[in-house]
Chains A and B, each alone.
Chain A
Amino acid sequence: MLKKRIIPCLDVDRGRVVKGVNFVDLIDAGDPVEQAKIYNSEGADELCFLDITASSDDRETLFEVVKKTAENCFIPLTVGGGVRTIDDISRLLHHGADKVSVNTAAVENINLVAKAAKKYGSSTIVIAVDAKKTGDKSWNIFTHGGRKSTDIDALEYCIEVANLGAGEILLTSMDRDGTKIGFDNELLSTVSSSIDIPVIASGGVGNLEHFVEGVLKGGASALLAASIFHFGEYSIKDVKTYLAEQNIAVRI
């Protein structure tokens, strides 16, 4: 049986791991390569790096971090943040990323999704969607790391990028991110039940039960979390053991 994936996400700023609460108040949580090694040995199913470095001059450090991580971790590594062009994707893959996640650039130029999927294969292209609730069963997407609103409906957008060849959707609830009150399972299930490709749940996980709900209520194929792992509240093993106890298939 295909396992539900547990994916620790490392927000990386100028080569260091940070994690914000509602995208502000960044707290330093360590060296990405060291953290990646720990997650790799703890049984993480994949790793995700989100580069939040603002200045493009400082972005070179990311490539080094990706390269070093890929040399130490033999599980899939997704890298996103500031990916604008086919060339950006190519450079990340060349440095050892297995998948590249695209957010703002895909919203601004939807053709990038089809172009990237055709060039590197759907499985390589993750579309990251930051969604904020606007009404009953309705969410709009935000771009630029959650700073800029759009009038684009999240569900329609997810359907469109799936049709264009995206391999999976990394779906972050802006309302829940950093709150630790659980995933937005209504958002997850609305999107997941409307598209064929896998949906990764993101934003809001605060305890073990939230992971279970993300699968059972949200219909997520994979569960992403950041601060809950970095500060040692729960280990990957804790999460997997708990999911297994609830009869959810995980790789132990």
Chain B
Amino acid sequence: MKLVIINYGSGNLHSVHKAFEVVNNNLENPYEIIVTNTPSEILNADKLVLPGVGAFQDCKNAIHKIDGLFESLEQLVIVEKKAFMGICVGMQLLAEKSLEFGECEGFGWIPGEVIKIEAPVDYKIPHMGWNEITYSNHELLINIPQNTDFYFVHSYYFRTKKNENCIATTNYPNPITAAVIKENIFGTQFHPEKSHNNGKKIIKNFLEWEPS
């Protein structure tokens, strides 16, 4: 089984790769983890991970700059329904559009848009640090107690059109989407790769996930 981590120059690629490797090595049947941006290799993947930090538009442009990359993602995730996990901006890209630095189209895989966090003036932006999540039951969140802290760094968030696509929220002080789900597509606003043991649990859950 192959797990591909998409390399399109994202700053957190190394951290994501390391964390997945450590969790994967403890699995009974570990994946072959490949870091690549080559469409032919992506098309052979059983699971996909899309990291991302920085501005939405920059990430999107970086993906589209690589010939055939987006098309291979679409083939694997939308047509073949392989398990996908987006992290931070890698999750925000799933939206229809983002309003960061003007309007920018996303993948459109999950209905909704990425908007600026609205918080009272004494709340610092970016929302940076450890904050607890509450979630609705899902196998991707098993073995994680409610109100567990995860590490967030962001100024924009994904407001999903449908409640059913938002499976976890955090409060700052208003509710902010912390994780999204749609069939085989999973995404976290927080960084599991930087969220210590509970982050590793999320990664393990994703590695063991078999979306129906």
User: What residues of chain A have their CB less than 8 Å away from a CB belonging to chain B?
Assistant: 1-5, 40, 45, 70-71, 74-76, 93-96, 98, 118-124, 167-168, 196-198, 221-222, 251
User: A124 to chain B: which residues have CB within 8 Å?
Assistant: 11, 53-54
Q: A96-B14, A121-B55, A122-B155 given. 9 additional CB < 8 A pairs?
A: A2-B130, A3-B129, A5-B129, A45-B129, A76-B194, A93-B11, A98-B11, A124-B11, A222-B129
CB-CB under 8 A from B130, the residues of chain A are: 2-3, 5, 45, 251
Structural contact, A74 and B200, CB atoms closer than 8 A: yes
In the assembly, what is the distance between CA of A167 and CA of B11, in Å? 14
Query: Roughly how many angstroms separate A239 CA and B173 CA in the complex, as a whole number?
Result: 25
A123 touching B132 in the complex, CB below 8 Å, given contacts A74-B195, A74-B200, A93-B11 = no
Give the dominant DSSP class at A's interface.
loop
Measured between alpha carbons, how far is A75 from B11 in the docked complex, in Å? 15
Complex: A197 Cα to B154 Cα, angstroms: 11
Q: A70-B15, A120-B11, A121-B11 in contact; A167/B126 too (CB < 8 A)?
A: yes
Establish whether residues A198 and B128, one from each chain, have CB atoms under 8 Å apart when the complex forms.
yes
**Interface residue? B196 (CB, 8 A):** yes
Closest to A3 in B: B130
CB pair B53 A120 closer than 8 Å = yes
Task: State whether B124 touches A3 (Cβ < 8 A).
Answer: no
In the complex, what distance in Å separates the CA atom of A222 from the CA atom of B126?
13
User: Is B172 an interface residue when CB atoms closer than 8 A count as contact?
Assistant: yes
| Smallest Cβ-Cβ distance to A2: which chain B residue | B131
Complex Cα distance, B200 from A222, in Å, reads 24
A75, B196: Cβ atoms under 8 Å? yes
User: In this assembly, does B205 line the interface, its C-beta being within 8 Å of a C-beta of chain A?
Assistant: no
Decide: A74 and B54 in contact? CB cutoff 8 A.
Answer: no
- Which B residues are in CB contact (< 8 Å) with A123? 53-54, 126, 128, 153-154
With A76-B151, A121-B53 as given contacts, are A96 and B18 in contact (CB-CB < 8 Å)?
Answer: yes
Q: A99 CB to closest chain B CB, in angstroms? A: 9
Nearest B residue to A197 via CB reads B124
A207 and B61 alpha carbons, distance in the complex (Å): 49
* Selected contact of B124 from candidates A74, A121, A198, CB within 8 Å: A198
B positions within 8 Å CB-CB of A: 11-12, 14-15, 18-19, 22, 53-55, 58, 89, 124-132, 149, 151-155, 171-173, 191, 193-197, 199-200
A13 to chain B, nearest CB (A): 24
B20 to chain A, nearest CB (A): 11
Residues of chain B lying within 8 A (CB to CB) of residue A120: 11, 53-54
CA distance A251 to B193 in the complex (A): 17
**Top 7 A-B pairs, shortest CB-CB distance:** A121-B54, A123-B153, A251-B130, A3-B130, A251-B149, A121-B53, A198-B124
CA distance A53 to B76 in the complex (A): 47
The answer to whether B14 touches A94, judged by C-beta atoms less than 8 angstroms apart, is yes
List the A side residues contacting B19 at CB < 8 Å: 74
Complexed CA–CA distance, A122 and B58 (Å): 12
CB distance from A58 to the nearest CB of B (A): 23
Q: Which residue of A lies closest to B192 (CB)?
A: A74
Question: Quick check: B196 and A40 within 8 Å, CB to CB?
Answer: yes
Can you sample 20 A-B contacts with CB below 8 Å? Answer: A1-B132, A1-B173, A2-B131, A2-B152, A3-B149, A5-B129, A45-B129, A70-B15, A75-B195, A93-B14, A98-B194, A118-B55, A120-B54, A121-B53, A121-B54, A123-B126, A124-B11, A197-B126, A221-B129, A222-B129
* Listed residue (A4, A121, A198) with the most chain B CB atoms within 10 angstroms of its CB: A121
A-side contacts of B131, CB under 8 Å: 1-3
Q: How far is the CB of A226 from chain B (nearest CB, A)?
A: 20
Contacting residues, chain B, for A1 (C-beta < 8 A): 131-132, 171, 173
Nearest CB on B from A122, distance (A): 7
Contacts of B15 in A (CB 8 A): 70, 96, 98
